[in-house]
Amino acid sequence: MSYFLEAKQICKSFPGLKALNNVDLKVNQGEILAIVGENGAGKSTLMKILGGVVNPDSGEILLDGQTVNIHSIPQAQKLGIALIHQELNLAENLDVAANIFLGREPRRAGIMRLLDNRIYDRASQIMQELGLNCSPRTLISQLSVGQKQLVEIARALSFQFRILIMDEPTASLSLEESNRLFGIIKALKQKGITILYISHRLKEIEEIADRVMVLRDGVNSGELQKGEIKHEAMVRLMVGRELKQFFHHGHRVERESELILQVKALRYLDNQKPITFDIRPGEIVGMSGLAGSGRTELAETIAGIRPMLAGEVFLKGQKISINSSADAIRAGIFLVPEDRRLHGLVLLASVKDNILLASLNSIGYLGIIPLRGGDALAKAMCDKLAIKTPSLNQQVAVLSGGNQQKVVLAKWLCRKPSIIIFDEPTQGVDVGAKAEIYALMDELAKVGAGILMISSDLEEILHVSDRILVMHHGALAGELTGQDITEESIMHLATGRALAA
């Protein structure tokens, strides 16, 4: 039999990354197909291809048995495919109704294409169905994140579609809002609408999916039929992969030493469960969690980039106040940020300038930096970290991901770190450089620094960390040590499930 929508052998590469590798997707009319996978497994890319946002490198899409070309968003819409994006894409300066109908304003006669005020009535209807209780004339900028998410959903519901793609629609919805959404999804299914549903909340998927398709590292890794859709089964398909060899392990000394960092009852959001944890000298603490669980925000708060709304931070037993990134850096708390090209480096500046950026005060005299000042230090860092660059004056933008990351590290190693927070340290870094970065972490740990490593790469978290903290929904969902550290236990905590006692 032929499927309603079928994607065959879809491939898509981004620079330095094979996002999708011969992925197949099949779905029947009126079926709710859930697509699950870890961060970066390629789910969103596949959905964007079906929605006309991204064009595949190769592969074929069949709708109703016919090959179709989806090269643009309007084309996808014409075929009846609606996509609700993971990230919010609303014009904050326009009102709710204008956003719902943006790009599909009802036509009225005349060349001026005057706006039709009937959109406000139609918007009201859809908003009521979704339980979005505000006027359709409210500006988007006045809405909360959850409400904005509902507007995104309302956008999709406002036109005639046959296939609805939802990429993490519940990420910022309350339980009540989510339940209402599930009601709508089931009603759509009754009407014969096909639904592709992405979520990290596996419990939701158990509840609503007819079938589950699992992606891992850009390839199909399995499928679950209605009766088999269980939390454990999904997790197994999501994470089960072979382990690689380059992790150093078993070097750590158990020390009952004093804590190097204590974070007590920290909050960076208004109504958030306070976060408390600590790090010992020489310890590598891994932090896991799904995208958007608040790991990066937590790191930025400790590094003084985000305002700390409440809480205390103690460094080597002494309370410190962190009001700015300068405060954190003075205390020896350094952040190696997730987006190194945006936040970690001055891309157009040289390797030397980047390495010395945080140490200029100690190199200069009265604020004047000698022409060759710091050359020796920068050179020493390049040698120590084996940064491959033709010269110290090379623009850092042209270096490989791994070498760029090493430059960011070198910047901090010029100063004496007490705490280094790594946010996705090996994202986009090749295997060789990965091993070198792990070795450096080990070395830092050996000299008594405390390390917090945020990573979405489960393999990395499992093998580099001495202890693992898992975040879920802006709160610490749990802590794992020793024998408790398994991929499954991390995924359980990260997807909002209590561990079995």
Partner 1 sequence: MKKLTGLVIFLVVLYVALIIAVPSQGLGLNNYNLAERIGQYGIISLGAGIVIIAGGIDLSIGSVVVLTATACAILLTDRNFGWNPAIAIPVVLAGGAIIGLIHGLLITKMNLPPFMVTLCGLFIYRGVARTISGNMSKGIGNQCLDLRHFFYDNDVFGLPRFLAIYIILAIIAAIFLHFSVYGRYLYAIGGNEKAAKYSGIAVDKYKILSYVLCSTLAAFFGVLFLMKNNAVTPSSDGFFLELYAIAGAVLGGCSLRGGEGTVIGITIGTAIMWILPNLTNMWGVPSELEFIVIGTALLLGAILDEKLRPVSKVT
Query: What is the C-alpha radius of gyration for the chain, rounded to an integer number of angstroms?
Result: 25
Nearest Cα to Cα of residue 453 among 298, 255, 264, 328: 298
Print the binding letters for residues 161-180 with partner 1: x by CB under 8 A, - otherwise.
Answer: -----------x--------
DSSP symbols for 63-76: ETTEEE---SHHHH
Q: Which is nearer to partner 1, 210 or 297 (CB)?
A: 297
Binds partner 1 (CB under 8 A): choice among 25, 34, 98, 451: 98
Binds partner 1 (CB under 8 A): choice among 7, 81, 90, 284: 90
Helix (H) or strand (E) holding 122: helix 118-130
User: What's the closest the beta carbon of residue 354 comes to partner 1, in angstroms?
Assistant: 25
User: What's the closest the beta carbon of residue 269 comes to partner 1, in angstroms?
Assistant: 8
Among 68-76, 183-191, 397-405, 423-431, the segment contacting partner 1 (CB under 8 A): 68-76
Binds partner 1 (CB under 8 A): choice among 91, 187, 398, 447: 91
Q: Which is nearer to partner 1, 200 or 211 (CB)?
A: 200
Q: Which is nearer to partner 1, 73 or 208 (CB)?
A: 73
Long-range Cβ contacts of 231-238 (<8 Å, 24+ apart): 231/202, 231/203, 231/206, 231/492, 231/495, 231/497, 232/488, 234/36, 234/202, 234/205, 235/202, 235/487, 235/488, 235/491, 235/492, 235/495, 236/488, 237/36, 238/36, 238/37, 238/38, 238/41, 238/214, 238/491
- In single-letter form, the type of residue at position 6 comes to E
User: What's the closest the beta carbon of residue 490 comes to partner 1, in angstroms?
Assistant: 25
Handedness of CA 169, 2, 230, 492 (dihedral sign): negative
d(CA 458, CA 481): 15
Among 101-109, 193-201, 240-248, 316-324, the segment contacting partner 1 (CB under 8 A): 101-109
Nearest Cα to Cα of residue 16 among 474, 430, 465: 430
Nearest 10 degrees: Cα torsion 440, 442, 444, 446:
-150
Please report, as residue ranges, which positions from 357 to 396 form the binding site for partner 1 (by CB under 8 A). Answer: none
Print the binding letters for residues 134-163 with partner 1: x by CB under 8 A, - otherwise.
Answer: -----x-xxxxx---------x--------
Exposed, middle or buried, 2 (CB in 10 Å: 0-12/13-18/19+)? exposed
Q: Which is nearer to partner 1, 76 or 396 (CB)?
A: 76
Size of the site for partner 1 (CB under 8 A): 31
Please report, as residue ranges, which positions from 221 to 280 form the binding site for partner 1 (by CB under 8 A). Answer: 269
53 lies in the site for partner 1, by CB under 8 A: yes
User: What's the closest the beta carbon of residue 249 comes to partner 1, in angstroms?
Assistant: 37
**Would you tell me which residues interact with partner 1 (CB under 8 A)?**
53, 72-74, 77, 85, 89-94, 98-99, 102-105, 112-115, 139, 141-145, 155, 172, 269
